[in-house]
Structure 1
Amino acid sequence: MNLGPLQWVRATAVLLAVLLLAGCFTKRKNEGARLYAQRCASCHGENGEGLRRLIPPLAGSDYLGQHRSSLPCQLRKGLAGEITVNGVKYNQLMPGNESLTDSEITNLLNYVQTSWGNKEEVWTIKEVADELKYCGGARGL
C-alpha cells in the first residue's frame, strides 16, 4: 500500500493520538483503588469492611445508594454526625480530602461504588463537579 505524503502524515498523526490516549487511560486505570488504599483503607478496611461499630462498612453498604448525591461533598469536606449504614448507627468524624481533584473523587467513588459486591451507578466527572458546587467544594479537574 503506497501512501502519499499527506496520507502518511494523517496516518502517523492518528497512530500517535491513539498511543497517547492509551497511555493517558492506562495511568488512571487503577487510580480509584490506589486512592482508596492511600486515603480510606486505614479506617474503612482494605476490603471496605469497616471497623465494628466504630467505622461504617463500604462493602455492601446501603448508604451509598441512599445518599448518592452527598457522597462527593462528604469526600471533599468530611462528615460529622450520626449516620445509619445497614441498620447500624455510627457517629465518628470522617475527615475531608480537600486536596483531591474532582477527577480523583470521581475515580475513588467509582471504585467504591463497584467494589466488594457494590453495584451502584458510576459517576461522571461532570456529575461530581456539579454536586461539589453545593458544598463549595468545586476545585476543577
Structure 2
Amino acid sequence: MSRRASRLTRNGWAALVSGGAVVLLSLGGCFTERQNEGAKLYAAHCSNCHGDQGQGLQRLIPPVAAADYVAQHRAELPCIIRKGMKGPLTVNGVAYNQVMPGHEDLTDSQITNLLNFLQTNWGNQNQPYTIREASELLGRCNGSDGQ
C-alpha cells in the first residue's frame, strides 16, 4: 500500500471513529431525556386515582400494583389508556365499576413508556411493550397517532 493510501485509510478511520462518537453522544442525550418517562407520566396522569404506589383506592378504584388485570389484559391496555373505560371489571378478585378517563393527549410512545413502567414495577413482572406492538394495539381502537 502506498504512503498516500495508508494516510487516507488512517484519516478515513479517524473520521469514522470521531463521527461515530458524535452519533453515540447525541443518542445518549436522546435516551436520557426519556429516562424515567413512564414514572413521570404515571405521576402526572394516573396517580391521582390509582395511587402513588399503584395501590388503588379501596373498592372504588382498582390497583395497578401486583394486579392480575395488568398481566391478563395486555392487548387491551393501550386502548384503555388512550380511550378510557367504563363498566365492570375485576382486579385481584375484587369487582370495580367506575369510569376511567382516556388520555388522548399522550403519544403512542408515551403510552408505551407508561405501560412499560406499569409492567415492570410494584410487583408486576410482565413483558415490556415495544412501540410497534403498542401502536398496533392502539390501531384496534383507532387510537394510534403513529408517534
The two structures have a TM-score, normalised by structure 2, of 0.92
1:70 and 2:69 are equivalent in the alignment:
no
**In 2, distance between residues paired with 1:7 and 1:53?**
64
Which blocks of at least 5 consecutive residues in structure 2 are unaligned? 1-6
**In 2, distance between residues paired with 1:134 and 1:74?**
11
**In 2, distance between residues paired with 1:28 and 1:140?**
18
SS in structure 2 at match of 1:94: coil
**In 2, distance between residues paired with 1:6 and 1:60?**
54
1:45 and 2:51 are equivalent in the alignment:
yes
What's the offset of the Cα at 1:4?
Answer: 3.5
Q: Which amino acid aligns with 1:80?
A: K
- Please say which of residues 4-13 and 74-83 is displaced more in the overlay: 4-13
1:61 and 2:67 are equivalent in the alignment:
yes
1:28 and 2:29 are equivalent in the alignment:
no
What's the offset of the Cα at 1:107?
Answer: 0.3
SS in structure 1 at match of 2:76: helix
Match of 1:81 among 76, 79, 87: 87
**In 2, distance between residues paired with 1:78 and 1:50?**
16
Q: Which amino acid aligns with 1:25?
A: F
- Per the alignment, residue 102 of structure 2 pairs with 96
**In 1, distance between residues paired with 2:10 and 2:128?**
45
Count of aligned residue pairs for this structure pair: 140
- Per the alignment, residue 120 of structure 1 pairs with 126
What's the offset of the Cα at 1:8?
Answer: 2.3
**In 2, distance between residues paired with 1:6 and 1:126?**
36
Match of 2:143 among 124, 134, 137: 137
Q: Which amino acid aligns with 1:112?
A: L
**In 1, distance between residues paired with 2:13 and 2:66?**
53
- Per the alignment, residue 14 of structure 1 pairs with 20
**In 2, distance between residues paired with 1:73 and 1:85?**
18
Structure number with greater Rg is: 2
Q: Which amino acid aligns with 1:44?
A: H
Which blocks of at least 5 consecutive residues in structure 1 are unaligned? none
